[in-house]
């Protein structure tokens, strides 16, 4: 068994996107791979193009007589053979040089990493020139990665042992959406991490796959149905404000561990701190730093700004020191609706559970 990666593309019509995606793979993939295209009953034009790819040794095309759906097609690909890695791909992406090798390198740098996304979000100043974004922002970050909350399904690498441990995507999610998030939570529960390879870039034409399958009312109904399944199963992510002040230094390692566990539980953290380097590097943790003298007013302004938003955007809980908690409760105008948990008072054996109890399952 070598280290080859099986690339899995699910195809259903949309010939122009499929052709562009396949061409980018053939031109920009140096890491050893085999390309498996699973066609879910496309029209003859698309099938004719796919038949023309079968002459290539690195390409296999499977023609399904019935549409197996996104999840069915992905699971069909994951059971195709025994490969070191599997990469599930939408047909509406364009890959850039080094993309696959960079994602594989992330899994090799840390044995805990089981699922990897590339970079895909392009800042507005680069919207008209994706290649300049790739050369300017992505190439210099070769070999770098950051832990993330869950892997997005448009393009994700899976290590073989993850597939062996938890199987494929859950068919309960029907046509798709929330299936990738659910898969990520299951992988994290099995002891793996999700990561984003900062030196890999894939451009994604968002929502092209599903708009070709569903009308808007069908899309909305499917989305809301799957959201209910996911939240009933795993709970709604918490929005947590963390205020880390010098009086918490003695519990730094403990607090870092609690925050990591909360992030791996799919919660969202906003961290105010007074240090040069933040406690946590994670895609789901926004960090802001300021001086000790200014912290009080920055946090006050931040909370007042948060309170003016819709209720679903309010913080579910605030984590801070006893001193900060006393000041929060004394500030006039600060709503009492924010539960406050003192980090010094959290018992080490139940710290994670004490914060997680604010989750809602509905």
* Res 275: pLDDT: 87
Residues 278, 134: Cα–Cα separation, whole Å:
27
Residue 248 DSSP class:
G
Q: Each residue of 165-212: pLDDT tens digit? A: 999 999 999 888 999 999 999 999 999 999 999 999 999 986 655 555
Give 127-135's long-range contacts (Cβ < 8 A, gap of 24+).
Answer: 130/203, 131/96, 133/201, 134/96, 134/201
pTM given for the model: 0.93
Mean pLDDT per segment of 10 residues, for the chain of length 362 residues? 90 94 97 97 95 95 92 96 96 97 97 97 90 96 97 97 97 92 98 98 77 61 93 96 95 96 97 90 95 92 87 91 90 76 92 93 81
Report residue 91 as tokens.
């047909």
Residues 25, 8: Cα–Cα separation, whole Å:
11
DSSP string, 61-92: EEE-SS--HHHHHHHHHHTS---SEEEEE-TT
Task: Determine the 3-state secondary structure of 281 from DSSP.
Answer: coil
Taking alpha carbons only, the member of 299, 245, 247, 292 closest to residue 270 is 299
* Res 215: pLDDT: 59
Task: Determine the 3-state secondary structure of 255 from DSSP.
Answer: helix
Residues 74, 79: Cα–Cα separation, whole Å:
9
For the purposes of burial, counting CB atoms within 10 Å of the CB of 270, is it exposed (0-12), middle (13-18) or buried (19 or more)? middle
Task: Determine the 3-state secondary structure of 220 from DSSP.
Answer: helix
Give 288-294's long-range contacts (Cβ < 8 A, gap of 24+).
Answer: 292/245, 292/246
Q: Each residue of 224-283: pLDDT tens digit? A: 999 999 999 999 999 999 999 999 999 999 999 999 999 999 999 999 999 888 899 999
Q: What is the β-pairing status of strands 93-95 and 193-204?
A: antiparallel
Residues 3, 173: Cα–Cα separation, whole Å:
31
Beta strands in 298-349 (DSSP E): 317-320, 340-342
Contact 272, 295 (CB under 8 A): yes
Taking alpha carbons only, the member of 319, 196, 180, 338 closest to residue 261 is 319
* Res 58: pLDDT: 96
Residue 282 DSSP class:
B
Torsion (CA) 143, 149, 153, 156 in degrees, nearest 10: 20
The dihedrals phi and psi of 106, each to the nearest 5 degrees, come to -65, -45
Contact 279, 252 (CB under 8 A): yes
* Res 331: pLDDT: 81
Residues 339, 135: Cα–Cα separation, whole Å:
45
Domains of the chain from N-terminus onward: 5-232 (3.90.550.10), 239-356 (3.40.50)
Residues 240, 182: Cα–Cα separation, whole Å:
21
- Residues whose CB falls within 8 Å of the CB of residue 345, separated by 6 or more in sequence, listed in order: 322
The dihedral sign for the CA sequence 226, 78, 185, 232: positive
* Res 214: pLDDT: 53
* Res 221: pLDDT: 87
Residues 118, 135: Cα–Cα separation, whole Å:
15
Residues 336, 303: Cα–Cα separation, whole Å:
11
């Amino acid at each position: 068994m070598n280290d080859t990666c099986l690339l899995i593309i699910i195809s259903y019509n949309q010939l122009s996107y499929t052709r562009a995606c396949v061409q980018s793979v053939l031109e920009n993939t140096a890491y050893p791979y085999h390309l498996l295209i699973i066609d879910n009953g496309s029209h003859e034009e698309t099938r004719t193009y796919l038949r023309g790819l079968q002459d290539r040794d690195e390409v296999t095309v499977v023609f399904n007589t019935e549409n197996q759906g996104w999840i069915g097609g992905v699971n069909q690909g994951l059971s195709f053979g025994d490969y070191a890695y599997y990469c599930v791909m939408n047909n509406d992406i364009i890959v850039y040089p080094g993309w696959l090798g960079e994602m594989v390198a992330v899994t090799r740098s840390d044995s805990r990493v089981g699922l990897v996304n590339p970079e895909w979000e392009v800042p507005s100043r680069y919207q008209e020139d994706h290649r300049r974004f790739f050369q300017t922002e992505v190439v210099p970050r070769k070999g770098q990665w950051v832990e993330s909350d869950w892997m997005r399904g448009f393009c994700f690498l899976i290590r073989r042992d993850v597939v062996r441990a938890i199987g494929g995507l859950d068919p309960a999610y029907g046509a798709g959406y929330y299936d990738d998030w659910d898969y990520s939570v299951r992988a994290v529960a099995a002891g793996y991490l999700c990561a984003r390879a900062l030196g890999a870039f894939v451009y994604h034409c968002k929502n092209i796959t599903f708009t070709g399958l569903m009308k808007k009312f069908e899309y909305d109904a499917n989305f809301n149905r799957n959201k209910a399944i996911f939240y009933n199963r795993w709970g709604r992510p918490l929005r947590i404000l963390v205020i880390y002040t010098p009086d918490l230094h003695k519990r730094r390692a403990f607090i870092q561990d609690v925050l990591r566990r909360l992030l791996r539980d799919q919660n969202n953290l906003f961290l105010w701190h007074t240090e040069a380097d933040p406690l946590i590097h994670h895609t789901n943790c926004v960090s802001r730093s300021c001086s000790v003298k200014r912290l009080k007013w920055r946090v006050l302004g931040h909370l007042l700004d948060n309170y003016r938003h819709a209720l679903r955007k309010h913080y579910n809980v605030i984590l801070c020191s006893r001193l900060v908690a006393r000041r929060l409760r004394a500030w006039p105008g600060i709503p009492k609706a924010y539960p406050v948990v003192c980090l010094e008072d959290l018992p080490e054996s139940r710290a994670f559970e004490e914060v997680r109890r604010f989750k809602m399952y509905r």
